[in-house]
Structure 1
Amino acid sequence: MLSVSLGEGGELRATEPWQAPEFAAYVDRTRDHLAPWLPWVHSVTDTASARRFLQEMADSQARDGARLYGIHLDGRLVGGTCFRLFDAATGLCELGVWLGPDVRGRGLATRAARKMTDWAVEERGMRRIQWLVAPDNAASISVAQRLGMSYEGTLRGYLPQEGGGRQDLEVWSMLAPERAFLRAD
């Protein structure tokens, strides 16, 4: 998957280390908005750290693991999506998606997540797609619901938070046969 249209000027594209300057600028622009949900935004602080982060993702993808894609609108990086976990041997992947505040409400996150789930199930044979989300992240929970995912429970105190404390995460998921049923409508 190098580039996939999301319609209405939206595009899902591979994000690679050579794109570190654009990625660093995006993170810098949206850091305050994304920080409550994405721990890695605290470590991507300049082009060099963005390059390291993107290289780690590229190395993981080369091992058939985690992978990262940018969401572009009219050619501008406005968000992203990733498989934080991608295990072809067990058929399990964990999907996440994020957008800058200026492009929310256009359906980009849902369309990008749907393209990712389609690819994971149809091309790679994934059997379970899961989505971990902070309980107060209503926008992300809405995407999981629009994808047809089911709420499974809450992992209490799952992630350390910047500045101390721990964050709960809800688990949402979809199994491949459920996805096929939903797509038949």
Structure 2
Amino acid sequence: MYAVSLGDGAELTPLEPWQAEEFLAHVDRGREFIGRFNGLPDVVTDLESSRAFLRSYAERAAADTGRIGAVRLDGRLVGAVVLRRLDVGQGIAEAGCWLEPSAVGRGLVTRAARVLIDWAVRERGIQRVEWWVSPENAPSIAVARRLGMSKDGVLRQSYLYRGKRHNEEIWSVTAPEWVRDAEGAAG
């Protein structure tokens, strides 16, 4: 993946293991904020765990089972979008994201996720993209809506996070919906 302009000084760029130090600094800047709904800060705690996390996504990309892209604002790493799961055989992917506080409210995740989802649908033939989110995470739910996703349902008490069981909402968009909405926006 090469840099893709998201407008307003923002880009979606590759995020690779050699960038582990920069990635750790990004996680440290947003550790408390990101950790409200995302386990990333519990996994990326030092340089080695940062490198291991990015290496796991490099391995997923090589195996065609996942992707990660850096969201940069004026060259600074401020977040990421991911395909946590990419199952080309089944035609299903699960997208996700996070941002550090300095980048919130600019539409960066929506624009970056559009690029990643469009790639999954048009290039990899994905038929359904899911967005799993805490019902308390209103900003992430708003992104799902802006991406044209529909709420499929709630998995009650399905996610153990920091010693407590949480519900998860599943939102999704199908390839025909995605293409129709993209063509409608372009026309």
User: Which interval holds the TM-score relative to the shorter structure?
Assistant: over 0.9
Correspondence 1:182 to 2:181: yes
Matches for 1:116-135 after TM superposition, within 5 Å:
116-135=116-135
Look up the match of 1:173.
Answer: 172
Could you list the runs of 5+ residues in structure 1 that have no partner in the other structure? none
Look up the match of 2:31.
Answer: 31
Q: Which amino acid aligns with 1:135?
A: P
SS in 2 for 1:173: strand
Give the whole-Å Cα distance in 2 for the aligned partners of 1:150 and 1:9.
Answer: 30
SS in 1 for 2:84: strand
Matches for 1:64-83 after TM superposition, within 5 Å:
64-83=64-83
SS in 2 for 1:130: strand
Look up the match of 2:104.
Answer: 104
Look up the match of 1:18.
Answer: 18
Look up the match of 2:148.
Answer: 148
SS in 2 for 1:54: helix
Higher mean C-alpha displacement, 29-38 vs 74-83: 29-38
Post-superposition offset of 1:80: 0.4
Q: Which amino acid aligns with 1:96?
A: G
| Root mean square deviation of aligned Cα | 0.9
Post-superposition offset of 1:40: 2.6
Look up the match of 2:60.
Answer: 60
* Number of residue equivalences: 184
Look up the match of 1:7.
Answer: 7
Could you list the runs of 5+ residues in structure 2 that have no partner in the other structure? none
Q: Which amino acid aligns with 2:105?
A: G
Give the whole-Å Cα distance in 1 for the aligned partners of 2:40 and 2:165.
Answer: 15
Give the whole-Å Cα distance in 1 for the aligned partners of 2:41 and 2:57.
Answer: 14
